[in-house]
Each structure stands twice: as C-alpha cells, then as structure tokens.
Amino acid sequence: MLKKFLPSRHVKSIFQIKPEELKAQGIKAVITDLDNTLVAWDRPDATPELKSWFGELKKAGIKVIIISNNNEKRVRDFAVPLDIPYIFQARKPMGRAFREAVNVLNVKKEETVVVGDQLLTDIFGGNRGGFYTILVVPVAQTDGVWTRFNRLIERRIMNFFKRKGLIRWEENK
C-alpha cells in the first residue's frame, strides 16, 4: 500500500524538470498542482521564472494543465493570465480530475506526468491513476490548515521511504 505514495522521481523544484527530458520519455503533457508546487500557496501569480518554464514546455510541444483542490477563484486567477487550462476543487487524490485532465489535453495517461508537492494528494492520486509522478520540495515553508495536517502524515511516510533507501528527500532541499 505504501508504494502508492512513492513518486517515480523527486526533485528540488519544477525547474529541474526539463522539457527535453520529458520528450525523451515520450511525455506529451504535464498535470501540475498549483499551491506550493508552482508558487507559494499565498502567492497570487506566476513568477517570471515560472512563466519562462511554461514557455519552454509549450515550445517543446508539451501541454500543461493545473489541477488543484483549491477554490475556483484562486485557480482561475492564476491560470487564466497564463492561458493554461485548469481544474479546481479537484478532490485529489480521487481519480476524476486526473481522468478529466487527460481528456481535456487529449493525451494518454502513459504520455502524461503528474507533478506535485504532496504525497497524500498529488503523488497518491497520480500513482493510483497509473501516471508517472514527480514529487517536488514545497516552494514555501508554510501551508494552509488542511495541508499542515497532511504534512504530519507525509513526514512519517517519507521517513519510512528514507529508512528503506527508496527516497532521499532531505538531500534535495
């Protein structure tokens, strides 16, 4: 059961995810979380570096969609200026939003990577759906109320993976 929480890959930030590497893996689309994956949970818009990363993906022909458990206003206000499709109140780790995302992008799940900062929502949901998953170190040290609870459970799972030599999370910080 815990294997469902183990990401396919883990990186310090989304900027370590290179479009050319994704293309070499046959990846045509990125499903990404928003809060603490792309920007801090309380930051309203994209950084210049993030805009550049999205541009690199687009130039490489890789589609992007944001799926977030957050409310419509938060997700829409972030995604619309970037011309990126989005799904709000996704109820991750449930599978509906992941299935909807591949339908919106018109890709297969085998051609899609799920990127996120939480094991309990992004990685578990992506793994359950049969996606390649990438865990990123959260961009902010603070979290919303529900996420703080998730992080307590997540830390225990991470410590288990570390003891088993399956992940080297702290080395990526």
CATH code at position 75: 3.40.50.1000
Residue 37 forms part of a structural domain: yes
* pLDDT over 90 (residue 88): yes
Indicate the pLDDT class of residue 163, thresholds 50, 70 and 90.
confident
* pLDDT over 50 (residue 172): no
Helix (H, G, I), strand (E, B) or coil at 52: helix
Domains contained in the chain, number: 1
Higher pLDDT pick, 50 / 140: 50
- For 68: left if phi > 0, alpha if psi spans -120 to 50, otherwise beta; the answer is beta
Residue 145 forms part of a structural domain: yes
Interval 111-134: pLDDT, tens: 999 999 999 999 999 999 999 999
Residue 91 forms part of a structural domain: yes
Residue 19 forms part of a structural domain: yes
Task: Quote the DSSP letter at residue 63.
Answer: E
Indicate the pLDDT class of residue 145, thresholds 50, 70 and 90.
low
Residue 172 forms part of a structural domain: no
Domain that holds residue 14: 2-167
Residue 173 forms part of a structural domain: no
pTM of the predicted model as reported, rounded to 2 decimal places? 0.90
8 Å CB contact between 57 and 141: no
Before 44, cis peptide (omega within 30)?
no
8 Å CB contact between 86 and 113: no
- Dihedral angle, C-alpha 159, 142, 138, 13, nearest 10 °: -140
